[in-house]
Amino acid sequence: MLISVIIITLNEEASIARTIDSIKNGAKLKNGRSIPIEIIVSDGGSKDNTLPIANRLANKIIVSKNPSRCSQLNQGARISEGDVLLFLHADTILPDGAIIRIVKKMQNPRYSGGGFEKDWSWNSNIQVSSFIKFSTWFWQSMGNWLVRVFYTFPGDNAIFIRNSIFKQLNGYRTLWICEDFDLMLRLKKYSKKNSYKLACIGFSVLTSTRRMEKYGFFKTVFLWFMIYFLWRFGMNPERIKVVFQNYSTIPETGSRKYLRF
């Protein structure tokens, strides 16, 4: 079984090497051999050293003329050869053995796909208050409980899916935001209809808090809630884009030195 790992990037020189290393470590067996993987970097037009680093470490590179997440994800999937697709954000680190755990699940033909639990990783240069640390712990605990119960994974929870099923679902829809939730809802409907199961792997990927560093913890959580619920209850994503025009889907790191309530 070949696992195709598709990483979407845009000016990710600070994180791409560590992310790729976590993929390779996640595929290593105890006997020193590795699960077959192909690492695909789908770039949105980086102007930094992302592509030179990726050229050194990845198997395939594709540069999208349209730097949108859904376009980059679909283009990466289009050039993949794997039986299973794993979609990974460039600031998300896989736990040891992650690829092995995916293979163990997907060797069962009744599984269509799934995702991981998730923990947050604060920038060590930022001072975070005890209250914010507690709030982060509560937020990630609630998020992990929700994915275990509802099997609806955000994009930074490392979504994986059988390539054949991804093609049947016509991939990611062209949405400004919530393309990850949209795919998962369609996958859940497909799985229910065709007697498949979804997997929640009980080991956490580690993803950065850079949006919280930019907007602040509580503002970020508020924006996520509002965007998700407006989309879930039928608001057109382009209308959501107008309402939340100051929210960027392009990853940016903030300049905050302190995060306090």
Residue whose pair of structure tokens reads 């690492």 in the numeric block: 39
Between the two ends of the chain, the Cα-to-Cα distance in Å is: 48
pLDDT, tens digit, for every residue of 107-120? 999 999 999 999 99
Query: According to the model, what pLDDT value does residue 92 have?
Result: 95
Question: Could you tell me if 37 and 3 are in contact, meaning their C-beta atoms sit under 8 angstroms apart?
Answer: yes
Which domains does the chain possess?
3-259 (3.90.550.10)
Q: Contact 19/92 with Cβ under 8 angstroms? A: yes
Model pLDDT, residue 251:
67
| Cα separation values, 25 from 33, 90, 201, Å | 11, 16, 17
Give me the pLDDT at residue 258, please: 66
Residues of the chain with pLDDT under 70: 251-261
What pTM was estimated for this model as a whole? 0.93
| Calpha distance 141→83 (Å, rounded) | 31
Number of residues written out for the chain: 261
Q: What is the pLDDT of residue 257?
A: 65
Q: Which amino acid is at 91?
A: D
Distance CA 256, CA 235 (A): 32
The confidence score (pLDDT) of residue 147 equals 93
pLDDT for the residue numbered 126: 79
